[in-house]
Amino acid sequence: MARGLFAESGADLKLVGVRKQFPGYTAVEELDLTVPAGTFFALLGPSGCGKTTTLRLVAGLEEPTAGRILIGGTDVTDTKPYRRPVNTVFQSYALFPHMTVLENVAFGLRRRGIGDPVEKAHAALRLVELDHLADRKPAQLSGGQQQRVALARAVVNRPALLLLDEPLGALDLKLRRQMQLELKNIQSEVGLTFVHVTHDQEEAMTMADTVAVMNRGRIEQIGAPEEIYELPRTAFVANFLGQSNLFGGTVAESGSGAFGVDVAGRRILVPIDRAQRTTGAVTVGVRPEKLLLVTEEPAPMAGVNVLGPGRVTDVSFSGVSTQYLIDVPHVGTVIVFAQNLVFGPVVEPGAEVWVTWRVEHGFGLADAPAASALEQAHEALVSGVEG
Amino acid sequence: MSGQNQAGLVLGQEIGAEEQAPARRPGRVGIGVGKWLLPVYCTLALIFLLIPIVYTIVFSFNDSVRTNISWRGFTLDNWLGVCNEPGVCEAFGNSILIGVSATVIATVLGTMIAIALVRYRFKFRAATNLLLFLPMATPEVVMGAGLAAQFLTAGVPKGIGTIIVAHAMFCLSFVVVTVKARVASLDPALEDAGRDLYGSPSQVFWRITFPLLVPGILAAALLSFSLSFDDFIITYFNSGAVNTFPTFIYTAATRGIPAEANVIASAVFLLAIAVVLIGQLSANARRKRAAIR
Ligand SMILES: Nc1ncnc2c1ncn2[C@@H]1O[C@H](COP(=O)(O)OP(=O)(O)OP(=O)(O)O)[C@@H](O)[C@H]1O
Ligand SMILES: [Mg+2]
């Protein structure tokens, strides 16, 4: 990396068969991943799934047990962290307690011999609205302020590859939106590559070009935000990213564009090109906002799936939409998000309703029907017979 | 010096205890005995601890002739001509030289060992830990005699050199223990951040690790110096013809300790108090300045 110069553009990141084993625990298993140069890549996943470990591997702070890491086409697997064109916003901030905020931010610039480090550090602090606290020590800042210093300290270096480990987690909503915009600006202005770990799904969806959902050290699905939301491939993704209604059933017929699944005595059609499996026992799903509530049994219509009747067990108002929980016998609880087009709930708890959705909104998952879902269905069946 | 150090230490503890006592036992104020027992006990303890020091300081102004036991009148002669009494200043100088040398050796080595012990896993790590504990656990007489025997076998003439080696050896253990605690409390993420921000290993050490260890290293150095300055037993076995301040006092005690020795002892005590006070005041000032900002 050239001394005294900022990166001209982003670099692409490539992980090939990367694995990381800690004594007695495999944190990352077989990671194959390509992040094109100049894109905004979001990494989502539950706590402890290996996101931070992945970033540390890329930064060189951890050595992979197996596999290669390439940045900008160069194999950096054996390159020391201080020679990699990478900066990290640490989840724990890791600000230097004995230096002022300004010296913290200028640290990387000084090490690389970049001109005007103080002026550039001030500019970065202005960006995160903390220039007035430049002379303070980190211990004299609030959590959110510390986080913004950590952000400024990494961003100021304009690295070809910036790793952000939950960089906005401690900020209030307004400040977070503002920082999101700033980050996006910096990223697109210079065309840097960002790898962004976040627990905020909305943040991941709105900011990222590509989203990857990680689970237990593996990437479950990777794709554009719309794609990954509209067409989840596994039950984990379907429920981790937003909510989903999942139904277990057996494939009963196979047509040209769609196949039919028997779910609790009803025939549900799923498009073949939206399903991972098309034979045997399958799990099919649909997003809650795609469902429509009707209070009278709908007449069979081509291209529309129907489940029901069921009983409304809960209605909760959440501003833009209202969430209905419907207990459908032999299926379980179905969630429906309905837009608040009329004042007050459309139906009251206890009402008998049917849910419908257009066939093209359904999806078929790679998972076999979950044991618990089957059990639930069985339980419902037994209690239905007894009652 | 150790007596004086301990007095200073106990003084600090008593002050702390006075501050904390009411907060800790608010319900027991009503009981009559508890009200005066603690203050009286504390005052007696303080007097007991302070008497030898006050005695030493007062008698440094005594117009003594041969012995410095009975009060014969006030004079400044002892203070103005400390080095007139043969041997006093030479012994004091030796003690300073030995203390500084042993401290430097023990602090540098001990800091490196402490970092290695906390940060790295290596063969014989447990053994090293145990080995470092030994000088603290071994009776000083045994260690002094053992070292003397070793120097004799190796044919090393006793003198300042052998004293420095002996002192550095037992100071090392205390340095390692003190600095190790500091290293263990250091967040490794800070060094990671340094490396991530283009700091080479030496830059990360000198700009991040070392500055954060300084308080621990300073404490260890002070401890080393006072241990060395104060040591009598191990020194006595390995000093040969050389006198340090403690061995000088010991030999002088049979003839009567000269008042000049009192002068040096008092000066050291006052200097130590001054250092502690300045440290406290500057820490307070710093805290206030930080609070204003
Ligand atoms: N140094 C280590 N030694 C042993 N296990 C570790 C080590 N570091 C991490 N792990 C384990 O590896 C797994 C992944 O950790 P990681 O920090 O990558 O999680 P994460 O996805 O960042 O979680 P979070 O969202 O909570 O930050 C965890 O189960 C953790 O316990
Ligand atoms: Mg993490």
Residue spans per domain, chain A: 3-227, 243-386
DSSP H/E element including B245: helix B245-255
CA distances to A86, A253, A344, B84 from A31, in Å = 19, 37, 49, 80
Residues of B in contact with A59 (CB under 8 A): 196
Q: Residue A325 — pLDDT band, cuts 50, 70, 90?
A: very high
Residue of B nearest to A89 (CA): B193
For chains A and B, CB pairs below 8 A equal 64
- Express each pLDDT in A24-36 by its tens digit: 999 999 899 999 9
In the reported structure, the alpha carbon of residue A128 is separated from the centroid of ligand 2 by a whole-number distance in angstroms of 22
For residue B187, the chain A residue with the least C-alpha distance is A94
Q: Assign residue B221 the CATH number of its domain.
A: 1.10.3720.10
Average pLDDT over residues A284-290: 93
pLDDT-derived band at A3 (thresholds 50, 70, 90) equals: low
Whether residue B12 is predicted with pLDDT greater than 60 in this model: the reply is no
Look at residue B133 and tell me if it is in a domain. yes
- The CATH class for the domain spanning A243-386 reads mainly beta
Tokens of B100: 């500084």
| Angstrom distances, CA of residue A56 to CA of A39, A110, A214, B274 | 19, 23, 15, 49
Q: Does A254 reach chain B within 8 Å, measured CB to CB?
A: no
- Per-residue model confidence (pLDDT) at position B83: 83
Phi, psi of B58 (to 5 degrees): -60, -45
Same domain, B49 and B109: no
pTM of the model as a whole: 0.80
Q: Over the stretch A68-77, which tens digit does the pLDDT of each residue have?
A: 999 999 999 9
- Cα A217 to averaged position of ligand 1 atoms, centre (Å): 10
Strand ranges in A45-119 using DSSP code E only, listed in sequence order: 66-71, 74-75, 86-89
Query: Treating both helix axes as pointing N-terminal to C-terminal, what angle do B259-292 and B245-255 enclose, rounded to 10 degrees?
Result: 140
Q: How far apart are the CA of A46 and the nearest CA of chain B, in angstroms?
A: 22
Asked if pLDDT for residue A255 goes beyond 70, the answer is: yes
Predicted confidence (pLDDT) at residue A96 exceeds the cutoff of 90: yes
Residues B55 and B174 in one domain: no
Is the pLDDT at B128 greater than 60? The verdict is yes
- Are B197 and A157 contacting, i.e. CB atoms less than 8 angstroms apart? yes
Query: Is pLDDT at B123 greater than 80 in this prediction?
Result: yes
CATH superfamily of domain region A3-227: P-loop containing nucleotide triphosphate hydrolases (3.40.50.300)
In this structure, are B174 and B246 located in the same domain?
yes
Does A52 contact B at CB distance below 8 Å? no
Quick one: B43 and B91 in the same domain? no
* Ligand 1 pocket, Cβ-based, cut-off 6 angstroms: A 22, 25, 27, 45, 47-53, 91
Burial class (CB in 10 A: 0-12, 13-18, 19+), A89: buried
Q: At which residue do the structure tokens 């990352």 appear?
A: A28
Percentage of chain B exceeding pLDDT 70: 88
β-bridge partners, A41? A195, A210
Q: Is B172 helix (H, G, I), strand (E, B) or coil?
A: helix
Average pLDDT, chain A: 89
Residue B178 pLDDT > 90, yes or no?
A: yes
Assess whether B37 and B120 both reside in one domain: no
Closest residue to atom 25 of ligand 1, CA basis: A47
Comparing A1-15, A79-93, B2-16, B108-122, the range with the smallest average pLDDT is B2-16
**pLDDT of B256 higher than 70:** yes
User: For position B287, what pLDDT does the model report?
Assistant: 79
Which of B11-15, B17-21, B222-226 is modeled with the greatest confidence? B222-226
Question: Which residue has the CA at smallest separation from atom 16 of ligand 1?
Answer: A50
Atom of ligand 1 nearest to the CA of A46: 25
Residue B149 resides in a domain: yes
d(CA A303, CA B37): 92
Instruction: Please name which ligand lies nearest the alpha carbon of A56.
Output: 1
Q: Is the pLDDT of residue A58 over 70?
A: yes
Confidence tier at B290 by pLDDT (50, 70, 90): low
**B73 within a domain of the structure (yes/no):** no
Given a cut of 70, whether residue A182 has pLDDT beyond it is yes
Is B214 within a domain?
Answer: yes
Q: Which two tokens mark A118? A: 């103080």
pLDDT number for residue B179: 96
Q: Which helix (H) or strand (E) holds A93?
A: none
pLDDT at B28: 52
How many folded domains does chain B comprise? 2
B249-263 burial, b for 16+ CB within 10 Å, e for fewer? beebeeeebbbbbbb
Dump pLDDT digits (tens) for B141-175: 999 999 999 999 999 999 999 999 999 999 999 99
Packing angle of the helix pair A101-111, A117-127 (nearest 10 deg): 130
Using the Cβ of A5 and the Cβ atoms of chain B, whether some distance falls under 8 Å is answered with no
Per-residue confidence band for B77, with pLDDT thresholds at 50, 70 and 90: confident
Mutate to test the pocket of ligand 1, among A18, A26, A53 (most ligand atoms within 8 A of CB): A53
In which band, very low, low, confident or very high, does the pLDDT at B14 lie, cut at 50, 70 and 90?
very low
Structural domain of B195:
86-257
- Distance from the B166 Cα atom to the nearest Cα atom in chain A, whole angstroms: 36
With 0-12 CB in 10 A as exposed, 13-18 as middle and 19+ as buried, what is A371? exposed
Task: Give the per-residue pLDDT at A28.
Answer: 94
Mean pLDDT of A105-109: 96
Q: Judge whether residue B9 has pLDDT over 50.
A: no
Confidence of residue A365 (pLDDT cuts 50, 70, 90): very high
B32 and B125 together in one domain: no
- Say whether A243-386 and A3-227 share the same fold: no
Residues B21 and B90 in one domain: no
Check whether the bond before A309 is cis (ω within 30° of 0): yes
Let me know how many helices (H) and strands (E) chain A has, helices first. 9, 20
Spatial distance between the Cα atoms of A64 and A76, rounded to a whole number of angstroms: 11
Q: How far is the CA of A62 from the centre of ligand 2 (A)?
A: 14
DSSP strand pairing (A161-165 vs A193-197) = parallel
Residues on chain B touching A80 (C-beta within 8 angstroms): 195
Q: What is the pLDDT at residue B286?
A: 81
Is B197 found in the same domain as B150? yes
Pairing of strands A193-197, A40-44: parallel
Backbone phi and psi for residue A304, each to the nearest 5 degrees, phi listed first: -130, 130
B44 and B94 in a common domain? no
Q: Are residues B159 and B214 in the same domain?
A: yes
Q: Rounded to an integer, what distance in angstroms lies between the CA atom of residue A181 and that of residue A168?
A: 12
Atom of ligand 1 nearest to the CA of A56: 18
Write the residue with the smallest CA distance to atom 10 of ligand 1.
A27
**Quick one: CA torsion of A258, A262, A264, A265, rounded to 10 degrees?**
110
Question: What local confidence, expressed as pLDDT, does residue B96 receive?
Answer: 94
- A8 vs A330, more confident: A330
Residue B276 burial (CB < 10 Å; 0-12/13-18/19+)? middle
pLDDT confidence of residue B291: 64
Q: How far apart are the first and last CA of chain B?
A: 40
| Same domain assignment for residues B98 and B216 | yes
User: What does A286-350 look like in DSSP terms, one character per residue?
Assistant: E-GGG-EEESSPPPP-TTEEEEEEEEEEEEEE-SSEEEEEEEETTTEEEEEEEE--SSS-SS-TT
CA A64 remoteness from chain centre: 24
Regarding whether B221 and B139 lie in a shared domain, the answer is: yes
Q: How confident is the model at residue B64 (pLDDT cuts 50, 70, 90)?
A: confident
Greatest alpha-carbon pair distance for chain B in Å reads 71
Percent above pLDDT 70 for chain A: 94
Average pLDDT over residues A175-191: 87
